[in-house]
Structure 1
Amino acid sequence: MRDICIVGGGVAGLAASIFTARAGLDTIVVDGGESILARNASLENYPGFPDGVDARRYLRLVHEQAQGAGVEVELGRVSSVERIEETNPESGFVLETDGGDPLEVRRVIAASWSDSEYLVPLDVGRIQRGSKHYVNVDEDGRTAVEGVYAAGRLAGEPHQTIVAAGHGAKVGLTAIHDSDVNFYHDWVVPEGYFTGRDRDVPPGCEEIDDEERLERDVAARETILEAFAEPLAEKPTMHPSVDRE
């Protein structure tokens, strides 16, 4: 049984997965297809990119970061989620998918803005507004069903990439907390930051010396330089309702 299944491979789901995987939780993301972010011609409001960034390139980098953290990504759609034992909240969940074997997991994070029908068997509190459905959550992303969370636009958050990423990370931290994982922060700090004060390095943190810091800086710059070396050939995906003829 896996620790976490995240349904949705957009920025909210991937952000959550990076946190849960780095905390040591066995994490799988079921990606149902192209993120709505791929319709964005230029991502303009994301801090750190003064002149904007190609949204598809950004999404690729987030995918790489998640997989580098140990996240498994499986392409497919989840058709239903049910508790393994209806009367036992600790039993976990089974997820049926359209392209693979059923998944048994302890916790589920729903981050699939375009489709949440799979949640109907759980009665998590889906709310219909016009043609869209949202999931009612508390301030930390928990739904009415213990062990099930919702992140990003599906949880009613504003339709902005930076907000989706931040909320996904927050919900990931909530799942970590509920999993009773010994975890403090995902900080990487200079050597002596904790030990120099006669403190143990907290769980999830790491102290590195200057040599390691410089090595990581070189690797980080090489990754970014390679990612941005050439423009992407693909064009943004047009909204499906637009007549292309």
Structure 2
Amino acid sequence: MTDADRPERAPGADRDVAVVGGGPAGCSAGVFLARAGLDVAIFDRGRSSLKRCAHLENYPGFPAGIDIETLYDLLHDHAETAGCDVVADLVESVDRADRGEGFVVTPQEGDPIDARRVVAATRYGGEYLRGLDDEAAMFETHEHAGERHESFDGAYADRDGTTPVDGLYVASPSEAADTQTVMAAGRGARVARRVVADARIDDGWWEDVADGVDWVRREAELDDEWTDRETWVEWFDDYRAEDAPVDPGSDRYERVRAAAIDDARSSYVGPAEIESRAAAGHEALARHLDADAIVDAVDETALLAAMDDEVVREYVDADADRPEVGE
């Protein structure tokens, strides 16, 4: 999504979305929101229930499991790379803005911010939302390991995270199964898609068009016909015009059609871009791995072959310039 296609914020809003909770649900939501062009702040209070785990062994993509600190760092790195600001602060309160639209999010240490929408992604404790709605409907209290905890009532939010409070969404685990990390991440993504759709609807889109997807596909999947923008225009008019709430040919219809087509076409990339993204992905992952583990895991011959002469020279030159201990 380009800046021109970005949904407009409510007047005075600092952020499009404030996500409260920097665990799997919150970071997953943040990635989908930011990739759709929304301005997102994730408040991480540092007490994600994920950190109570000793080791995570059922998250796809990590055959031998993954230690919690590394996964947590990867989640935050992914959110920041997508465009989110991860704020290391505890949210003390979320209140309705004086203008009647949006919210004022007040952290413990930083300055309050205005946000058009708020996604609650904390497992325990929703005290920061008190006063926004009927507390008996929002929360439930239960015991765990001899301690009493308060969490969101599983029936308070719909499956897509929407709540009776306009602009407030809940991505917190709503069922016992949701406490699994991979399920929490999936819930965050599902809620984020609803938020993106609502932001687009506020900007003039309609439901069938606003409910998009987030993927990257190969240009090779497009035949010659679909490389022509006019084919996309004809397809949109054939399949979207009938349910449009405005007349085809109106300024609003043409603006939404152009933005939706741009969004769809931008998801297709060529071989060079695929290779570039793959390399960037490997590099980003490697930054979070222990260097000794990489050396132990990779065949020595392959490792040396990967270090071409230029890389070796750069390393040797840097080492030569490094001062000796005690200098």
Band of TM-score, shorter chain: 0.7 to 0.9
CA distance in 1, matches of 2:91, 2:287: 34
Task: Specify every segment of 5 or more residues in structure 2 that has no aligned partner in the other structure, as ranges.
Answer: 1-12, 143-147, 202-209, 233-260, 294-327
Corresponding residue SS for 2:139: strand
Residue equivalent to 1:54: 67
Residue among 162, 167, 173 paired with 2:193: 173
Distance 1:145 1:50, change over 3 A: same
- Give deviations 1:50-92, integer Å, cap 9, x for gaps: 2211121111111101000110111211111111148x4xx11
Q: Match for 2:73: what amino acid?
A: R
Residue equivalent to 1:127: 139
In 2, are the aligned partners of 1:80 and 1:121 still within 8 Å (CA)? no
In 2, are the aligned partners of 1:152 and 1:163 still within 8 Å (CA)? no
Identity %: 36
Matched, 1:185 2:185: no
Distance 1:111 1:171, change over 3 A: same
Residue among 100, 106, 110 paired with 2:110: 100
In 1, are the aligned partners of 2:126 and 2:139 still within 8 Å (CA)? no
Distance 1:41 1:107, change over 3 A: same
CA distance in 1, matches of 2:132, 2:163: 10
Distance 1:183 1:22, change over 3 A: farther
**Structure with the bigger percentage of strand:** 1
Residue equivalent to 1:78: 91
Which has more radius of gyration?
Answer: 2
My pick for the range that moved more, 104-113 or 72-81, is 72-81
CA distance in 2, matches of 1:194, 1:20: 27
State the structure with bigger RCO (CA 8 A, min sep 6), 1 or 2: 1
Q: Match for 1:180: what amino acid?
A: R
Residue equivalent to 1:7: 20
Residue among 19, 30, 33 paired with 1:20: 33
Residue among 147, 151, 163 paired with 1:143: 163
**Structure with the bigger percentage of helix:** 2
In 1, are the aligned partners of 2:19 and 2:26 still within 8 Å (CA)? yes
Q: Match for 2:218: what amino acid?
A: P
Corresponding residue SS for 2:92: strand
CA distance in 1, matches of 2:59, 2:220: 33
Residue equivalent to 2:279: 218
- How far apart are residue 231 of structure 1 and its match? 7.7
Corresponding residue SS for 1:122: coil
* Number of equivalences: 228
TM-score where L is the length of structure 1: 0.85
CA distance in 2, matches of 1:156, 1:196: 47
CA distance in 2, matches of 1:217, 1:184: 24
Distance 1:81 1:195, change over 3 A: farther
